[in-house]
A = this chain, B = another copy of it.
Amino acid sequence: MNKTIEDILGRRSIRAYQDKPIPEEDLKTIIKAGLYAPSAKNKQEWHFTVITNKEVIDQMSGMAVEGMKRLELDMNDDDHIFYHAPVVIVISSKIAGFSGINVGCAVQNIVLASMALGYGSCIIGQTRYMYHKANKIDVDKLLKIPEGYEHDISICLGYPNQEAPAQKPRKEKIVDYIL
């Protein structure tokens, strides 16, 4: 099968990682893939923070867990929202008409490039809960998010420490045709 189609259909969310860094060259390729995503009118109004510092990754997870507990979501203190992955990429953007879709294109390029190079990844929305524990200025400063940008979503990645899970069933009635 076409390798690109194979990667698109074979990508799964990976939730267990080896304690082993990703080689710098591969990480650069993965980030480049994100930067090459299309954006409305090619404005590229997004920002990526690439975090390999374990202490900061753990701190982020702890903040998000605390934020979720404050919202009375069912969390344990030792839950780790990044599954102890060695790399976290935080994406933020200027909020505008198509910013969510732009960010999604970059996210998908990053997870597919990771897959293509043999790494596992998981898209993590829970980083938004950091802002329920700490104030925006402090979180944005920690994560080097530029002024005027809002945190959208994160991705964790690394060498997988599990088999890829089965594809969850796709819902029906999603596609209509006008022939």
What residues of chain A have their CB less than 8 Å away from a CB belonging to chain B?
A: 2-5, 7-9, 11, 13, 29, 31-33, 35-38, 40, 42, 44, 46-53, 56, 97-109, 111-113, 115-117, 123, 125, 143-144, 152-153, 167-168, 170-171, 174-179
Number of this chain's copies in the assembly equals 2
Query: With the chains together, A56 CA to B177 CA distance in Å?
Result: 11
Do the beta carbons of B4 and A113 come within 8 Å of each other? yes
Query: With the chains together, A30 CA to B47 CA distance in Å?
Result: 29
> Would you list 24 pairs from A and B whose C-beta atoms are within 8 A, ordered by A residue?
A3-B116, A4-B7, A4-B115, A5-B116, A5-B117, A8-B109, A8-B112, A36-B167, A38-B111, A38-B123, A46-B174, A48-B176, A50-B175, A51-B178, A52-B177, A53-B178, A98-B125, A100-B103, A104-B106, A105-B105, A105-B107, A108-B109, A108-B112, A109-B112
